[in-house]
A and B are shown apart, each in its own frame.
Chain A
Amino acid sequence: MKSSRPSRPPLAALLVAITLALAVGPLAAMAHGEGASTARWQLEQPTPPERTAGESLTPIGLGKIGDLEFLAPNLGLLITSGNPPTIPPGVWVYNGVRWRELANVCGASDGRIAWAGPAEFWTISDGRPGQAASETGQIPPLEDNTLCHFAGGQVAGSYASLAFQPSSYRAMHAAGCLSPQDCWFGGDPVTHVGAFHLHWNGSSVIAEPNPQGRPVQDMRAYGNSLYESVRIKPPEGGTHEEEEQLTPPETRLTPSTMHLIFPEGQRSSSGSPFASLSPGVPVYSEEEPPWALEAMHLGAGEGALWGAANPLARSQFPPGSELPSGEVTIVRDAGGAWSQVLGAGSDPPGGNPFTKFSGERERENELVTSLAAEPGTEDAWLGITSPANSSHGALANATVARISRAGVVSEQQPLPSTHETEAGVGPKGAADKIACPAPNDCWLATTQGWLFHLTDGTPLPENTDPAFAHLITYRPPDQGVPQIAPDAPPPDNSGLLGEPSPIGGTLPEGPARNEAKVTVPLVSGIHARLVHGTTLELRFHLAVKARVRLIARRHKAIVASTPMRTLAGGSRRLLLRLDPRRWPTKLDLQTRALAALPTLSSREPGVSTVSTSLRFPTWEPAGSGPLR
């Protein structure tokens, strides 16, 4: 790693030397040997969803994969921004055999996934377009600032907020759940408030900012708490405390790069659900201020929590400021005891295997893009790239490496593997997210949305949980945002997705009614009758205040009309005098709601859909009674 690829990676060379010379960790070495002998990384890219059966499709990148999370080796999820128009933004599931599109809704530019239960998870997703621009013409932000709650094979809830409000949701970069009733989502700071957090308490999503106002970067459940990493901002002139809204016990010189979030029902001594991890993780060198490192990438295994931080790039420092000396730092917590695996004062013999070039070669320095603890071992897998490599985009190569608790890096290898490259497989982008659901079973997503799998070839049982068996295409209306009814009917895509015809078969079960939300119709309870022979009386119920006009047409010609009237919500009536010689054939009740229509859960009894179409009473010249 002292020189950039494709020359022989010095990190690997160094580690081989270290391993041979010092024979560090016989257990770890044995584990490495076993892992290396049986498992290997391979490209395992799904093909795009078939539009027609038997369609021959070539695998393509799935787009920017924001997160890759596994509940079990045969149950994993990823969230993508999509590769349109073939791959829509959404969520994909791995069932032990293949990756498949799970939802074409709730995708995200850089989304996150938090497992809440065996068939329940949350995503940080992009918002829906449609909100109005600000007074200055600013487009409402949409990236990573809404939540989707998946449960029972559907999106059970969608949470968003009105833009440009003090309470507007910020972009969120971290998500984690301690139980189905206790999930947290962290993001950017809110001025004078603190770091933006949303909390799901089992019944509602509420904003609960952390007074320590540093942007949250990652979040992992470990033990019975959630750990979140935060980014420490370089000073820009003012006092650091003001800039970052720090509150005691944190100060500029004693920052905490990680925070704890207690489980539901527990609080810190100050009554806050948050607690700052004691300073000392990581350990900084004398030349290394805390802001010399980026926020930590976290990876949690059965018995350890790992964190890896890269030196902050020069571009993130104010121009002209002195660039502090930072190095790739990796820490590990096992049983509550933190240890510095790589970094100041803890580098293995030979020094930190991650290069520290300066000047023009600074872009060649390799950095950790993600980290995943490998279950069953004391090791973790790293995704590695350099700015120079990443700049090649689709033609960048991915690199993975294993690191032991002693800081020994091994099995560093480029992906696609040499074997695959010889077979004609080209570069698939730089390493991005990595996840390890089981020993010798890891997944790496590249920046271009390609998936590599570390596997020893052991087949996994196919997960047939019905909650992950069908494509989810419906995202319910956002709670917290007025719904805008579309002007046009949705596109008719029936049959395009290969679903069987309902004719002659069984209709697929729709979403469980107890979770769906329906919008109350504006007009309901319509009754029409003729009074005095030629005067039409129309009675109806308005859900909210609305502008209303009743028009009577004879074929296409308007033969009578009321003026446009503004009526408050409630039961209302309109009278319209008609000419028997120009008797109408059709009535048209034009309405426009002047307030947001309320929504009701379909679970609640008494909600029924009503028709707003009108049936015109037949005119009888004499003695006409109520006509309906």
Chain B
Amino acid sequence: MRRLSTICSAATVALLAGAAPAGADVFGPISLVSTNALQQADYAHDPAISGDGRYVAFDGSLGGVTGVWRREVSSKTVEQVAGGDATLPSISQDGRYVSFTTTEQLVPGDGNASPDVYVRDMSLPAFGPCKAGEEVPRPCPYRLASAVNKPEGAPSSEEALSYQTSEPTRYGSVAAGRSALSADGRYVAFVTTAVSNLANPNRAGSETVETPETPALQVAVRDLLAGHTELASPLYEPATGSPAQNAAGLDLPVPGGAVYSGAAAFPSAFQGASLSADGSTVAWLGESISAQAAALPSDNARVATYTEPLWRRVADGPHAITRRVTGGSDPASAQCATSGETQLVQPRTLADPCGGPFDTKPIEPGTPPEGVWTLGNASNDFLPRLSADGSKVAFLANARLIAGGEEFNHAEASDDLYLADMRAGLTRTQALRRLTAIASGEVGDVARNAPIFDLGISPDGNQVAFSSRRTVFPLGSPAFVSVPAAVPGMRELYSADLANDTLTRVTRGFERETQASEEPHGEVPAGEDPYSAQEGAASVSFTSNGATLAFASSASNLVYGDGNAPKVKNGNSPIDGSDAFVVSREVFAPTPTEGSISSAPAGPAITPLWRLGVTAASRPDGSVVLYVTLPGAGRLQAAARGSVPLSARSARRSKRSRAGRRASTRGVTPVAVRTVATSAVGSSAGGSITLTLRLARAFTSLADQRGGLSSTVNLTFTAAGQATLHDSIPVTFQRTAHAARHRSRTSKAGKRRSR
């Protein structure tokens, strides 16, 4: 029997091996997409992949022409979305709509020289900027997103926001790459980087161009279908706990600006705000936190330059509140509200009901606290990124995580990746999950504490990808399952699969799986780092199902045939050899595998043991049930023998025996061993049978006495050609009082019926 189970186990393992590892963290070969049939792009940055994976939009130069481009992945068809300095594309689910930022004036309503946010409808041909009063009117493929609200009844043409800035080509409105456009292309999130007329406190509502009065660095969402632009980062009114509004019921902007001002000048890689794919939620790295969300009376967040990621569900309407994603305090939690605490417990502890997950004390004593993000003007991705429904936020932070204990020295020079769950009912500490952790405080230990450069999150929130030069990831959850590079080189792309709890390196050279990203570089002395922090992978985005990633990299060895890397880089030149790539997660479908179990191995037949097995149970009616396991066909006989009191005649007859004489001399009731019950049964096969023994009539009353009648049942099993088997088991014949009454009633009734 054991051998058979072993064989079955082996067969099962064989079958499972063919099916595994579904969902494993394995990525297929990398494909270059910033190329057409004629030539590779001169350079390509900021790719964004459509939800269906059909298109990738990127900005760069192709054939010497700069702009934003859209490549159909399955073919080598590349179309220009917009030329000039257009940059930072986001793309809709089906790839039809592409948002971008440019200083080009593409619609008649854009009369400023500032960067503005547009959405291109790729189903319409483009012949340069759309002009008013064309002889042959053509549908304009461009929609202006950074546009003012037109009053009811006004012409439907879009009018750009007006700005007040001394550097008009650098400040205006900007949209984030990859995450500014909703999946249906209807909503666009952007940030004003100059004083504008986006949400003037006294909005005129007329066709005249208003004087810009809205402070810079406000988040806005444009509904292209309704032609409506909504301020998404309203001023917080502590008294009501809701957005502050003017008399006309319009949200008021944050006076000092709502958005982190670190990289406001156009063009910069990380600008704008993130919009969830369903268009419901917007997130940004905020400043002036206490002007946008609840804060404790003595809260570091009350410092204007303190930064934290902020989150607002704009789909909930104008009264939707702005929530703090994470940070040093959590005044919005229920336990904080009931505690009455006004100041955080120092030193920081997780037991503090109003405490957030981070310790946001000042880096240098005497300086103001800088918040969750303190890298200043570093070019890392400070934008929080949203899952499709906006419920999960991935972000970078370099403040000390309280749950992580003491950080390494110089930890502020690096950052780590986190994921926050924004569903209601969770404290900010409960909602947080750490995805990376630096492993060294040594300056220059790039392998262990290089910063996370940028990130992307899959629509379902189960994958978070990021790029970094770091090669050591000490967390066990997610567990780093790739072969680490021997030495840190260029930035590599990693993907944390939260469903499988693994962390995998995505980028690799085409020559072998363990090869690191590489690009041409001059000869350097042994031990010197040939790469800088600005080289390698960046700008990752996911398809709707999370199976395919698009990213950019300046590495030249990811794909055979990548040939645009300059041998000598000019730090100011965009010609850095960067390209757009896609890579798909390999899902191993269960492979049909023929499964068979071998026949029983040759050898002696397995014969059951020739023996009896028996158990017994007393029944209330005074009988005993025997459960007997028979080795085969045969006849089973059972006889119960017990000590029974003798009657007078029997006693006299028995006095002649030794026992009778001894009993008689002691004055006790003589007893004798008698067969009190018998039964027999024939069986045509082995197995378990049931046999009932009932006391012979003469001894029936003994079952009613206290303790019943103890007996020993002797079993005899006989079968033709086999040895006779014997066994015995002690039993007690005992009838309970209830059974006795029942028997008495049935007995009387029987007598009455017989009468």
Instruction: Give A residues with C-beta under 8 Å from B.
Output: 48, 51, 57-61, 63-64, 81, 83-87, 137, 139, 393-395, 421, 423-427
Contacts and interface: CB of A to CB of B under 8 A. Distances in A.
A57 B39 CA distance: 10
A492 to B, nearest CB: 12
Determine the interface band of chain B, counting residues with CB < 8 A from chain A: 20 to 34
B561 A60 contact: yes
Contact of B37 (A58, A60, A393, A427): A58
Contacts of B518: 85
A61 B563 contact: yes
- Which 4 A-B pairs give the minimum distances between C-beta atoms? A60-B563, A426-B63, A426-B64, A427-B64
B570 interface: yes
B575 A393 contact: yes
Given A64-B567, A427-B64, A58 B40 contact: yes
Contacts of B562: 60, 86
Interface of B: 35-40, 42, 61-65, 76, 509-511, 518, 520, 523, 525, 556-557, 560-567, 570, 573, 575
A86 B520 contact: no
A476 to B, nearest CB: 25
13 contacts: A48-B563, A60-B40, A60-B563, A63-B567, A83-B565, A84-B557, A393-B573, A394-B575, A395-B575, A424-B36, A424-B38, A425-B38, A426-B61
A58 B63 contact: no
B39 A425 contact: yes
Of the listed residues A48, A85, A393, A394, the one surrounded by the most CB atoms of chain B closer than 10 A to its CB is: A85
A64 B566 CA distance: 11
Contacts of A51: 560
Nearest to A129: B523
A66 B40 CA distance: 23
B25 to A, nearest CB: 26
B561 A426 contact: no
Nearest to A428: B39
A137 B525 CA distance: 9
A426 B66 CA distance: 11
Contacts of A137: 525
Contacts, number: 77
A86 B63 contact: no
A60 B523 contact: no
Contact of A426 (B37, B65, B523): B65
Contacts of A84: 520, 556-557
Contact of B561 (A86, A139, A393, A423): A86
Contacts of A394: 42, 564, 566, 575
A393 B563 contact: no
B527 to A, nearest CB: 11
Nearest to A496: B511
Contacts of B564: 60-61, 394
Nearest to B76: A58
B36 A48 contact: no
A85 B63 contact: no
Contacts of A421: 63
B699 to A, nearest CB: 80
A597 B669 CA distance: 117
Nearest to B573: A393
Contacts of B563: 48, 60-61, 83, 86-87
Nearest to B61: A395
Nearest to A84: B520
Nearest to B569: A393
Nearest to A139: B523
A46 B530 CA distance: 31
B36 A393 contact: no
Contact of A57 (B65, B561, B575): B561
Given A60-B561, A83-B563, A427-B64, 13 more contacts: A48-B561, A58-B37, A58-B561, A60-B562, A60-B564, A85-B557, A86-B562, A394-B564, A395-B61, A395-B64, A426-B61, A426-B63, A426-B64
Contacts of A81: 567
Contacts of B38: 58-59, 423-425
A373 to B, nearest CB: 31
A58 B556 contact: no
A364 to B, nearest CB: 19
Contacts of A425: 38-39, 63
B525 A395 contact: no
B402 to A, nearest CB: 46
A472 B562 CA distance: 23
A611 to B, nearest CB: 32
Contacts of B525: 137, 139
Contacts of A58: 35-40, 76, 561
B523 A48 contact: no
Contacts of B36: 58, 424
Contact of B63 (A48, A59, A424): A424
A260 B88 CA distance: 60
Of the listed residues B35, B42, B62, B561, the one surrounded by the most CB atoms of chain A closer than 10 A to its CB is: B561
A591 to B, nearest CB: 29
B524 to A, nearest CB: 10
Nearest to B566: A393
B686 to A, nearest CB: 55
Nearest to B524: A139
Contacts of B63: 421, 424-426
A426 B62 contact: yes
A85 B511 contact: yes
Contacts of B64: 395, 426-427
B523 A395 contact: no
B37 to A, nearest CB: 7
Contacts of B566: 393-394
Contacts of A57: 560-561
Contacts of B561: 48, 57-58, 60, 86
A20 B19 CA distance: 81
A389 to B, nearest CB: 13
